[in-house]
């Protein structure tokens, strides 16, 4: 939060402590100085023989009782106990006695930097507690080119600025606990269909190639990864797909040139699991660590990896230089020493990780089932409370006719929809079918997690209704019945009908429908046909169409996304008004399916006429999500940044825009530099402009406003393809009824520059920019214009 006066700042701090309780701690991990960490890494390298060097840059599964999904083997004679890497961005996957947090898309909807930081910090705390050194997250790829992308929920928002802030806060939170974060999946991993190579009748068919032009790469897909480097992220994961015909993990341009040189990334790049397609080519392109590497320790000598035992051969034949091998190890080990993970106070890896790994993916990796007997280390702390608060706050109120919400002690409630249920197939689900009955609180694939418990809406609403004496509570949660319109069990018509809709998604497959799953439209229409006060709650892994949104009997809509283990409690807090929802859409909802973004490339067998047939041409450039709706002149159903509150807000007064950097004329380009520093040229991160206005709570309840700053570049001074407006600032402001606060937005040089392809540099255009502040992309109340040079 950026509030002007000190007294207000104290007030805001008070609110944060109130909101996040005892878990609200900020502060950086006391890292070892960079030079000292590098020196330690160099000393370590100097003691390694070639076999050991190969071990550090090649992962290994199943060794010495440690069951991490990625492992760097220990080297006992040097007292190096190895490095444990664990999925995923939302929780520690597979492990027992961990928390299931709200997913990335959910916290993006909070638009709350502090909340996003605290989630990262709590995740870091749990990974540390389990003795895992690296968390495989957060996610900025997919960014969300396709509304139906199967992994969009693991990341944040299709807007690069919002995702950039979320990456930065998450990484700072994680690394503040001395845990290495991993920015993934780098880059262009926008769809799951054919994300990796496949074999058809013995012929290798290459993974999809994301063909992205240089400017779009810089201003859209690379943008949040640049924030990650700036936040000193320890590692990057290169993605499965090809980028401009070359696999991401062997792509010299995006690894060596863009990431390491231009962005000055000092950490290491690991491959996504089985995404390495070559030895020397990958190593020389900038890949530092092959994952998962070899399957067992013995095969490090004889096994199957482009790295591993082959590295000696590469050195002998001269295709890889030993200096490069040392550079790879230095990059990995410097991060380990920097975060003091060699310290004896770093917890030993929870031995039960091997059991939970074997139970979930053991067969795949050839790990035998391991008998139980050990109890997992409980690392959940007081995170349940944090999860409940985060999820409630991040809920987006899209419609609220006649203030039907919050509920006013209704005497007769009914709950509908299969998403309201307790899951009937267990608490660690893998496939869509498993989710027919059960609240969708997290997606599938490597980013999923094993719940220790899951509070369903049915459970939480029933408990809440029981507190009100005599409230009638009915429920029909079988969608097949509801879709048929069979309401024979319902009597009388309830005062309030709550319909819960789920939309599941997973790594490895993209969604096929924009509507929520399981005949959701029929379910809503049939309930609303009988019930004039129908409230729809969606639990969704992505963007949904809402063909029923304008139905007059649908009086309220809440988008709760993927809230994590406290799903039911957090929605009850919002429904009954204990929490005033302050989520805002981190994407756009269109009226018709043709309005949404570019379709996923999905070739039929007949269309795969060559091994390189899979091509995704990013011809829309930067015009995805609201940028697309703006430029095509399409009215959305609910626009980017939109969300209601139980109170109302106004922007008061003018929008002031002032230069802050030393006066004088700003030059078009930055001063060239010779050394690589994290984030690239530091001038890009300098604040050059300050925009300021005031927001007021004009309603009767306390609530949080989310003022947003949109910038339009001077049209005549920028190349075509520039979006009509882009988000370049936001704040979350807690306001009592009648209260006003000044909000200010810092604009950095990068925020006001475009990537000039010819100059290969960011350029600050001449001419007048337009600045607008309001409460969503289509609702900006004040504006100002200013030329920078
Ligand atoms: C390197 O050291 C390991 C012990 O960590 C030993 O087993 C191995 O034989 C050595 N390799 C070479 C090439 O000396
Ligand atoms: C490894 O640790 C042991 C026990 O703490 C110590 O005696 C030994 O000197 C250490 N060896 C190295 C190479 O640091
Ligand atoms: C693969 O082989 C099967 C059986 O011979 C054939 O039906 C199919 O068309 C082949 N697919 C391709 C892509 O060649
Ligand atoms: C991809 O290829 C296009 C066409 O050759 C080129 O303009 C663009 O710069 C390349 N993109 C990247 C990120 O290298
Ligand atoms: C990144 O690390 C450098 C020192 O290596 C430090 O000066 C800088 O403040 C760090 N940035 C963040 C965001 O932590
Ligand atoms: C070396 O790499 C090849 C693939 O190029 C693989 O088939 C072979 O098993 C690897 N050898 C070792 C020792 O890892
Ligand atoms: C909302 O309130 C208005 C005015 O009181 C009324 O005419 C309308 O019927 C109400 N709508 C619903 C859905 O209750
Ligand atoms: C419910 O009934 C109990 C006992 O009659 C009473 O103490 C309590 O206040 C009532 N609660 C509500 C919400 O009316
Ligand atoms: C891709 O096409 C196949 C059939 O060829 C279909 O089963 C699958 O659902 C499609 N996937 C997507 C994401 O459209
Ligand atoms: C959706 O409804 C149709 C027709 O009522 C039915 O055939 C189908 O099985 C339903 N699907 C689901 C997933 O319930
Ligand atoms: C709204 O509910 C009433 C019953 O109260 C029903 O008669 C009407 O058809 C419903 N309208 C819609 C659009 O479902
Ligand atoms: C910046 O330079 C331009 C042209 O060189 C000049 O017209 C303009 O007045 C200058 N602006 C400021 C604020 O000095």
Quote the distance between the C-alpha of residue 686 and its chain's center: 26
Cβ pair 220, 145 in contact under 8 A = no
Name the band, by pLDDT with cuts 50, 70 and 90, for residue 356. confident
Considering 159, 272, 350, 731, which one is annotated as catalytic? 272
CA of 213 to the centre of ligand 4 (A): 5
pLDDT digits (tens, 9 = 90+) for 543-559: 999 999 999 999 999 99
Residues whose beta carbon lies within 6 Å of some atom of ligand 2: 78-79
How many CB atoms sit inside 10 A of residue 174's CB? 32
Dihedral sign for Cα atoms in the order 278, 279, 284, 290: positive
CA-nearest of 544, 475, 536 to 504 is 544
- Give start-end residues of each CATH 3.40.50.1700 domain in the chain: 398-580
Give the torsion through C-alpha atoms of 654, 394, 125, 35, to 10 deg. -30
Cβ 665 under 6 angstroms from ligand 12: yes
Tell me which CATH code domain 647-787 carries.
2.60.40.10
Q: From atom 9 of ligand 4, which residue's Cα is the shortest distance away? A: 214
Q: What is the DSSP string of 678-730?
A: TTS-GGGGSEEEEEEEEEEE-SSS-EEE--EEEEE--GGGS-TT--S-EEEEE
Question: Which DSSP helix (H) or strand (E) runs through 115?
Answer: helix 113-129
For the ranges 94-103, 328-337, 424-433, which has the lowest average pLDDT? 424-433
For the ranges 6-15, 224-233, 583-592, which has the lowest average pLDDT? 6-15
pLDDT digits (tens, 9 = 90+) for 267-290: 999 999 999 999 999 999 999 999
SS3 state of residue 498: strand
Q: What would the mean pLDDT of 687-700 be, rounded to a whole number?
A: 97
As to burial, measured by CB atoms within 10 angstroms (0-12 exposed, 13-18 middle, 19+ buried), residue 761 is middle
For 221, which DSSP code? I
Name the band, by pLDDT with cuts 50, 70 and 90, for residue 67. confident
Quote the distance between the C-alpha of residue 703 and its chain's center: 25
Residue 672 clears pLDDT 70, i.e. is over it: yes
pLDDT digits (tens, 9 = 90+) for 458-485: 999 999 999 888 899 999 999 999 999 9
CA-nearest of 436, 596, 572, 576 to 516 is 436
Name residue, tokens 């190969």: 54
pLDDT at 430: 66
Q: Is 272 in the active site?
A: yes
Atom of ligand 3 nearest to the CA of 201: 1
pLDDT at 12: 30
The phi, psi pair for 16, rounded to 5°, reads -65, -45
Cβ 533 under 6 angstroms from ligand 7: no
Q: What is the DSSP string of 636-685?
A: PSB-TT--B-SS-EEEEEEEEEEE-SSSSPPPSSPPP-SS--TTS-GGGG
Which ligand number lies closest to the CA of residue 576?
8
pLDDT digits (tens, 9 = 90+) for 168-201: 999 999 999 999 999 999 999 999 999 999 999 9
CA of 276 to the centre of ligand 6 (A): 12
Q: How many helices (H) and strands (E) does the chain have?
A: 20, 31
As to burial, measured by CB atoms within 10 angstroms (0-12 exposed, 13-18 middle, 19+ buried), residue 268 is buried
Residue 342 clears pLDDT 60, i.e. is over it: yes
CA of 595 to the centre of ligand 5 (A): 42
For 174, which DSSP code? H
- CA–CA gap between residue 502 and residue 499 (Å, rounded): 10
Rg (CA), the chain: 26
Q: From atom 9 of ligand 12, which residue's Cα is the shortest distance away? A: 789
Residue 296 clears pLDDT 70, i.e. is over it: no
Name the band, by pLDDT with cuts 50, 70 and 90, for residue 566. very high
- Spatial neighbors of 604 by CB under 8 A, at least 6 apart, are none
| Domain covering 398-580: architecture | 3-Layer(aba) Sandwich (3.40)
Which ligand number lies closest to the CA of residue 168?
5
Cβ 217 under 6 angstroms from ligand 4: yes
Cβ pair 183, 164 in contact under 8 A = no
CA of 533 to the centre of ligand 11 (A): 9
pLDDT at 315: 98
CA of 344 to the centre of ligand 2 (A): 12
pLDDT at 707: 98
Atom of ligand 5 nearest to the CA of 231: 13
Which ligand number lies closest to the CA of residue 601?
9
Q: What would the mean pLDDT of 24-43 be, rounded to a whole number?
A: 91
How many CB atoms sit inside 10 A of residue 742's CB? 17
Residue 21 clears pLDDT 80, i.e. is over it: no
CA of 555 to the centre of ligand 11 (A): 12
- CA–CA gap between residue 708 and residue 642 (Å, rounded): 10
Cβ 253 under 6 angstroms from ligand 4: yes
Encoding tokens for residue 349? Answer: 């890896």
For the ranges 32-46, 121-135, 403-417, 463-477, which has the lowest average pLDDT? 463-477
Name the band, by pLDDT with cuts 50, 70 and 90, for residue 622. very high
- CA–CA gap between residue 76 and residue 23 (Å, rounded): 37
CA of 515 to the centre of ligand 5 (A): 44
Percent of the chain with pLDDT over 90: 86
The phi, psi pair for 739, rounded to 5°, reads -80, 145
SS3 state of residue 17: helix
Q: From atom 9 of ligand 11, which residue's Cα is the shortest distance away? A: 529
pLDDT digits (tens, 9 = 90+) for 745-757: 999 999 999 999 9
Average pLDDT of the residues of the chain: 93
Name the band, by pLDDT with cuts 50, 70 and 90, for residue 500. very high
CA of 66 to the centre of ligand 2 (A): 21
How many CB atoms sit inside 10 A of residue 660's CB? 12
Name the band, by pLDDT with cuts 50, 70 and 90, for residue 70. very high
- Give start-end residues of each CATH 3.20.20.300 domain in the chain: 7-365
Atom of ligand 7 nearest to the CA of 402: 1
Q: From atom 1 of ligand 7, which residue's Cα is the shortest distance away? A: 402
pLDDT at 360: 81
CA-nearest of 90, 98, 174, 176 to 134 is 174
Q: From atom 2 of ligand 3, which residue's Cα is the shortest distance away? A: 201
**Residue 589's beta-bridge partner residues?**
638
Residue 423 clears pLDDT 50, i.e. is over it: yes
Name the band, by pLDDT with cuts 50, 70 and 90, for residue 514. very high
- Spatial neighbors of 164 by CB under 8 A, at least 6 apart, are 140, 223, 224, 226, 227
Give the torsion through C-alpha atoms of 323, 324, 330, 332, to 10 deg. -160
Top mutation candidate among 465, 469, 470 for ligand 8, by most atoms within 8 Å of CB: 469
CA of 205 to the centre of ligand 3 (A): 13
- CA–CA gap between residue 78 and residue 44 (Å, rounded): 8
Cβ pair 105, 511 in contact under 8 A = no
pTM: 0.94
Residues whose beta carbon lies within 6 Å of some atom of ligand 11: 528-529, 532, 551-553
pLDDT at 322: 98
- CA–CA gap between residue 568 and residue 423 (Å, rounded): 12
pLDDT at 358: 80
Cα atoms in the 13 Å half-sphere on the side-chain side of 741: 28
- Give start-end residues of each CATH 2.60.40.10 domain in the chain: 647-787
Q: From atom 10 of ligand 4, which residue's Cα is the shortest distance away? A: 213
pLDDT digits (tens, 9 = 90+) for 427-468: 987 666 678 999 999 999 999 999 999 999 999 999 999 988
How many CB atoms sit inside 10 A of residue 786's CB? 14
Total count of residues recorded for the chain: 789
Q: From atom 8 of ligand 3, which residue's Cα is the shortest distance away? A: 201
Percent of the chain with pLDDT over 70: 93
Q: Which CATH number fits domain 7-365: 3.40.50.2300, 3.40.50.620, 3.90.1580.10, 3.20.20.300?
A: 3.20.20.300
Name the band, by pLDDT with cuts 50, 70 and 90, for residue 8. very low
CA-nearest of 456, 462, 409 to 437 is 456
Residue 364 clears pLDDT 80, i.e. is over it: no
Top mutation candidate among 417, 418, 434, 483 for ligand 10, by most atoms within 8 Å of CB: 483
Q: What would the mean pLDDT of 751-775 be, rounded to a whole number?
A: 97
Q: Tell me the CA end-to-end span of the chain in Å, nearest whole number.
A: 29
pLDDT digits (tens, 9 = 90+) for 46-66: 999 999 999 999 998 765 568
Question: Which DSSP helix (H) or strand (E) runs through 747?
Answer: strand 740-748
CA-nearest of 560, 640, 504, 539 to 392 is 560
Name the band, by pLDDT with cuts 50, 70 and 90, for residue 350. very high
Question: Which DSSP helix (H) or strand (E) runs through 555?
Answer: strand 554-559
- CA–CA gap between residue 522 and residue 518 (Å, rounded): 9
- CA–CA gap between residue 87 and residue 139 (Å, rounded): 11
The phi, psi pair for 338, rounded to 5°, reads -55, -45
- Spatial neighbors of 663 by CB under 8 A, at least 6 apart, are none
Name the band, by pLDDT with cuts 50, 70 and 90, for residue 28. confident
Q: From atom 1 of ligand 8, which residue's Cα is the shortest distance away? A: 469
Q: What would the mean pLDDT of 392-408 be, rounded to a whole number?
A: 97
Name the band, by pLDDT with cuts 50, 70 and 90, for residue 301. very low
pLDDT at 341: 98
pLDDT at 66: 82
Name the band, by pLDDT with cuts 50, 70 and 90, for residue 10. very low
Cβ 310 under 6 angstroms from ligand 6: yes
């Amino acid at each position: 939060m950026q509030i002007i006066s000190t007294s207000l700042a104290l007030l805001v701090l008070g609110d944060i402590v109130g909101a996040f309780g005892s878990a609200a701690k900020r502060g950086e991990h006391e890292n070892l100085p960079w030079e000292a960490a590098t020196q330690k890494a160099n000393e370590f390298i100097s003691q390694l023989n070639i076999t050991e060097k190969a071990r550090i840059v090649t992962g290994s599964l199943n060794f010495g009782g440690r069951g991490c999904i990625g492992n760097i083997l220990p080297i006992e004679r040097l007292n190096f106990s190895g490095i444990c890497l664990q999925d995923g961005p939302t929780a520690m996957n597979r492990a027992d006695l961990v928390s299931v947090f709200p997913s990335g898309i959910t916290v993006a909807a909070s638009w709350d930097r502090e909340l996003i930081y605290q989630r990262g910090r709590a995740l870091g705390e749990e990974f540390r507690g389990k003795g895992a050194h690296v968390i495989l997250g957060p996610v900025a790829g997919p960014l969300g080119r396709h509304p139906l992308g199967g992994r969009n929920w693991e990341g944040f928002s299709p807007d690069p600025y919002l995702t950039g802030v979320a990456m930065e806060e998450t990484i700072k939170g994680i690394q503040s606990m001395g845990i290495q974060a991993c920015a993934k999946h780098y880059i262009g991993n926008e769809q799951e269909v054919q994300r990796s190579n496949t074999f058809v009748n013995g012929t290798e068919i290459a993974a999809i190639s994301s063909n992205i032009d240089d400017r779009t790469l810089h201003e859209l897909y690379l943008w949040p990864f640049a924030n990650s480097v700036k936040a000193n992220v320890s590692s990057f994961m290169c993605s499965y797909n090809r980028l401009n015909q070359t696999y991401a993990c062997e792509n010299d341009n995006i690894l060596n040139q863009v990431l390491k040189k231009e962005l000055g990334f000092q950490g290491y790049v690991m491959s996504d699991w089985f995404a390495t397609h070559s030895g020397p080519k990958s190593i020389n392109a900038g890949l530092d660590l092959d994952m998962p590497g070899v399957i067992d320790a013995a095969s490090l000598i004889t096994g199957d990896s482009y790295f591993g035992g082959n590295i000696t051969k590469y050195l002998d034949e001269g295709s890889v230089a030993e200096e490069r091998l040392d550079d790879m190890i230095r990059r990995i080990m410097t991060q380990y020493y920097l975060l003091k993970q060699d310290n004896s106070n770093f917890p030993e890896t929870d031995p039960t990780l091997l059991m939970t790994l074997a139970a979930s993916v053991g067969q795949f990796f050839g790990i035998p089932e391991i008998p139980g007997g050990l109890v997992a280390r409980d690392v959940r702390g007081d995170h349940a409370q944090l999860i409940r608060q985060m999820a409630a706050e991040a809920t987006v109120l899209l419609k609220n006719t006649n203030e039907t919400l919050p509920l006013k002690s209704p005497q007769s409630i009914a709950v509908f929809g299969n998403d309201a249920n307790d899951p009937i197939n267990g608490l660690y689900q893998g496939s869509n079918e498993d989710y027919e009955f059960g609240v969708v609180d997290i997606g599938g694939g490597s980013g999923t997690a094993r719940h220790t418990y899951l509070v369903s809406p049915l459970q939480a609403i029933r408990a809440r209704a029981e507190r009100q004496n005599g409230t009638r509570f009915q429920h029909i949660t079988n969608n097949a019945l509801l879709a048929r319109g069979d309401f024979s069990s319902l009597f009388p018509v309830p005062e309030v009908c709550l319909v819960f809709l789920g939309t599941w998604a997973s790594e490895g497959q993209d969604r096929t429908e924009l509507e929520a799953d399981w005949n959701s439209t029929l379910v809503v229409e049939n309930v609303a046909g009988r019930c004039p006060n129908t409230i729809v709650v969606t639990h969704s892994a992505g963007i949904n169409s809402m063909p029923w949104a304008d139905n007059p009997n649908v009086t309220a809509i809440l988008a709760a996304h993927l809230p994590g283990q406290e799903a039911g409690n957090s929605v009850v807090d919002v429904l009954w008004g204990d929490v005033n929802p302050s989520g805002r859409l981190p994407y756009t909802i269109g009226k018709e399916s043709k309005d949404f973004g570019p379709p996923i490339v999905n070739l039929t067998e007949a269309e795969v006429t060559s091994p390189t047939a899979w091509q995704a041409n990013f011809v829309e450039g930067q015009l995805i999500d609201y940028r697309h709706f703006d430029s095509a002149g399409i009215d959305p159903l609910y626009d980017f940044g939109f969300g209601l509150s139980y109170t109302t807000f106004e922007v008061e007064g003018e929008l002031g825009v002032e230069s802050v950097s030393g006066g004088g004329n700003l030059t078009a380009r930055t001063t060239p530099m010779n050394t690589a520093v994290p984030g690239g040229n530091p001038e890009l991160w300098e604040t050059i402009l300050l925009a300021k206005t005031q927001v007021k709570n004009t309603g009767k309840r306390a609530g949080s406003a989310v003022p947003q700053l949109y910038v339009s570049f001077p049209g005549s001074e920028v190349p075509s393809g520039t979006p009509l407006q882009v988000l370049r600032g936001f704040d979350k402001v807690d306001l009592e009824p009648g209260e006003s606060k000044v909000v200010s937005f810092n604009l950095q040089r990068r925020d006001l520059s475009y990537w000039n392809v010819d100059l290969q540099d960011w350029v600050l255009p001449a001419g007048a920019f337009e600045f607008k502040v309001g409460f969503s992309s289509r609702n900006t109340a004040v504006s100002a214009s200013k030329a920078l040079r």
